[in-house]
Structure 1
Amino acid sequence: MTPHAPALHLFFHPHSRAAMVRWMLEECGARYALTRLEFGADMKSPGYLALNPMGKVPTLLHGDTVITETAAIVAYLAELFPEQQLAPAPGSALRGSYYRWMFYLAGPADAALTAQHLGHLADQTPEHASMAGYGRMADVVETLRQAVAGRRYLCGDQFTAADLLMVSYLRWGHTMKLLPPLPEFSAYSLPLLDRPASLRALALNEAELPTA
């Protein structure tokens, strides 16, 4: 990031996908400002809807640039801080795997976990499964298992933004009991959750929550 780059400003809520972006900002060593928005009126206010018509978080401002969608923000930050090496080099053999898992997690995996949480999975019949991008939930679980089985990282020997998203979705899936507690998931996730940036982001988010 150049010395004169505009400040980063994250609109977030600690109990949202914005937690993934906060982890990424910590991985980047970024200096950033935060605005917490509550679910409901805050996120649907005219001022915020002018930034993000979906009325959801996260949204990241970088000067006059507005970035929404969690995976897009994470990918943007990886490019903004190349010295952190959070994405394989453009044109490298690993770039394809990086894109594959970034888009899979943001698309089919997120949709499947959300649908299961809401009780609206579309895989009750072969016809419905063929129309849903995630197909069957069993296929999603197996795809995730194969992706991480026996691996430290998804893309070669470096931690990338794809790993950050994968770990975040696996943690969400386990917390909400949407994914089975497979040993492959734990073996992959637990060491990455112990990264200093992950622990910092978790502590910062917990500090935002009300105390009993």
Structure 2
Amino acid sequence: MLTFYTNPMSRGRIARWMLEEIGQPYETVVLGYGPPMKAPDYLAVNPMGKVPALVHDGKVVTEVAAICAYLAMTFPEAGLMAEDKAAFFRWLFFGAGPLEQAVVNTSFGWVPEGPQAAGRTGYGSLEEVVRALTGHLEKHDYIADGRFTAADVYVGSQVGWGLQFRTIPTNPVLEAYWARLKDRPGLKAANAKDNALIPEATT
């Protein structure tokens, strides 16, 4: 049994996409922001009091990149784990670390001043992060194995949101990468389910 705790206006949308890609049945529990996520019953699942969280046969997985990797490894029949695990894990956690942190910090208007501050961030600058990812995608249509894997669910979501909300600098390589992902049936199904839940999550 898979139980998915989420809010349709959260990073849970990425985990939902992954769940739709593996094709396994799952139960959805929608939590509102504020008291519902801080209630004792949910804090027993995720002490951080945030979504998403996944419970599988009594085991809890939090953090979206971890959820994507866990599902890919637990349900190998879905074919979403790469043979090239070095590229898979490298870029999956690049997306969860340098890419997301650079985007979030920049969106808040925080830009490190000088080489020493940039070095302490762990990513340098948003431009450096985008340049590194673009360099990989110039040579590869997908993150690993030359095909769609769970790493593309996570990195692709970051790229898609970044292009949509203009939080990352656009370029033809990133646009072409997102174009290869955006019409996947799993993503469309996930978006339809989450969009339908928005009224419930905001009442």
Q: TM-score, normalised by structure 1?
A: 0.90
Determine the C-alpha separation between the residues in 1 that align with 2:179 and 2:118: 32
The alpha carbon displacement at 1:150 in A equals 4.9
Q: Unaligned stretches of 5+ in structure 1?
A: 1-6
| Counterpart in the other structure of 2:92 | 102
In the alignment, is residue 59 of structure 1 matched against residue 53 of structure 2? yes
Gaps of 5+ in 2: none
Q: Which of 118, 122, 129 does residue 118 from structure 2 map onto? A: 129
1:149 aligned partner: 138
Give yes or no for contact 1:44–1:55 (8 Å, CA) kept in 2. Answer: yes
How far the C-alpha of 1:202 sits from its partner, in A, is 1.1
Partner-residue secondary structure (3-state), 2:36: coil
User: Could you say which residue in structure 2 is the equivalent of 1:10?
Assistant: 4
For the residue of structure 2 that corresponds to 1:66, the secondary structure is: strand
- Which position in structure 2 is the counterpart of 1:69? 63
Selected match of 1:189 from 175, 178, 195: 178
Q: Is the 8 A contact 1:174 1:181 kept in 2?
A: yes
Superposed CA deviations along residues 157-202 of structure 1, whole A, max 9, x for unmatched, are 2211111111100112123321122111111111211111111111
Counterpart of 2:26 in structure 1 is: 32
Would you say how many aligned residue pairs link Structure 1 and Structure 2?
200
CA deviations on 1:10-29 (whole Å, 9 max, x unpaired) are 00011111111100011000
RMSD, aligned α-carbons = 1.4
In the alignment, what sits opposite 2:41? 47
- RCO comparison, higher one (Cα < 8 Å, 6+): 2
Q: Distance in 2 between matches of 1:147 and 1:162?
A: 13
1:112 is aligned to 102
1:161 partnered with 2:150: yes
Q: Distance in 2 between matches of 1:162 and 1:41?
A: 32
Which residue of structure 1 lines up, in the alignment, with residue 190 of structure 2? 201
- What is residue 174 of structure 1 aligned with on the other side? 163
How far has the Cα of 1:101 moved from its partner? 0.5
Q: Is 1:149–1:188's contact at 8 Å kept on the other side of the alignment?
A: no
Q: Percent identity?
A: 40
Q: Distance in 1 between matches of 2:120 and 2:72?
A: 33
- C-alpha deviation, 1:147, in angstroms: 2.2
**Bigger helix fraction:** 2
